[in-house]
């Protein structure tokens, strides 16, 4: 009797499998929202910048820098689309440092980043307990951890060259 009264007051009822109706078009709708910022034709702009000498750089990467970047990897972070766990990169940093150094140097000399480093996996996480529309999702982009290490190395080189022009109130990046 008490149970029936509580169910009536709170309108609580057990959900059955029949109540959950998955929306078949949800992945396509999420792709439309999250992929709307991709620029399909960036190759010509890149060639123009390279021919003007804007992308000319003397950035060099040492094996020690790569080893330290791999060693600083947070092991419990989610792996990106390459499925290489952070723990593997951290534990095997000494063995992998020379390999990634060659890859990073090649990327810097060609002024190109490999597509496997640029790939991401977007995971929509609900912002609220009940999702009513697509804006109730927060997109989480998982990128390869090896690319994050490369970005950290390049960022440290950039910061050393622009410390005089950097705003003291700059907190991001």
Task: Map 98-121 to HEC letters.
Answer: HHHHHHHHHHHHHCCCCHHHHCCE
pTM over 0.85? The answer is no
Cα gap 80→122, rounded to integer Å: 10
Confidence band of 55 (pLDDT split at 50, 70, 90): very low
Position 43 scores a pLDDT of: 54
Cβ atoms 96, 89 nearer than 8 A: yes
Q: Round to the nearest angstrom and report the end-to-end CA distance of the chain.
A: 60
Position 60 scores a pLDDT of: 87
Q: Which helix (H) or strand (E) holds 95?
A: helix 93-110
Among residues of the chain, what percentage have pLDDT more than 70?
Answer: 72
| CB-based contacts of 86, cutoff 8 Å, min separation 6 | 73, 74, 75, 76, 77, 79, 145
Give the mean model confidence (pLDDT) for residues 112-139. 88
Position 36 scores a pLDDT of: 63
Cα gap 136→114, rounded to integer Å: 33
Q: Is the pLDDT of residue 13 over 90?
A: no
- Condensed to tens digits (0 to 9), the pLDDT of residues 69-116 reads 999 999 998 999 999 999 999 999 999 999 999 999 999 998 899 888
- Phi and psi torsions of 137, nearest 5°: -105, 145
- Phi and psi torsions of 99, nearest 5°: -65, -50
Give the mean model confidence (pLDDT) for residues 13-24. 57
Which of these, 127, 143, 131, lies nearest to 26 by C-alpha position? 131
Give the mean model confidence (pLDDT) for residues 24-46. 66
| Domain residue spans of the chain | 57-159
Structure tokens at 86: 């952070």
With the C-alpha atoms ordered 70, 67, 69, 62, is the resulting torsion angle positive or negative?
Answer: negative
């Amino acid at each position: 009797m008490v149970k029936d009264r509580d169910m009536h007051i709170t309108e609580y009822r057990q959900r059955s499998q029949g109540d959950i109706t998955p929306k078949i078009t949800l992945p396509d709708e999420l792709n439309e929202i999250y992929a709307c910022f991709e620029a399909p034709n960036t190759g010509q702009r890149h060639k123009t910048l390279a021919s003007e000498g804007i992308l000319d750089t003397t950035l060099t990467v040492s094996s020690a820098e790569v080893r330290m970047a791999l060693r600083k990897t947070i092991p419990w972070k989610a792996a990106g689309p390459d499925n290489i766990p952070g723990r593997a990169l951290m534990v095997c940093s000494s063995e992998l440092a020379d390999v990634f150094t060659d890859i990073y140097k090649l990327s810097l000399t060609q002024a190109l980043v490999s597509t496997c480093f640029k790939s991401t996996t977007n995971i929509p996480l609900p912002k609220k307990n009940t999702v009513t529309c697509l804006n109730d999702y927060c997109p989480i982009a998982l990128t390869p951890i090896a690319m994050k290490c490369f970005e950290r190395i390049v960022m440290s080189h950039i910061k050393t060259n622009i410390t005089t022009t950097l705003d003291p109130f700059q907190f991001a990046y």
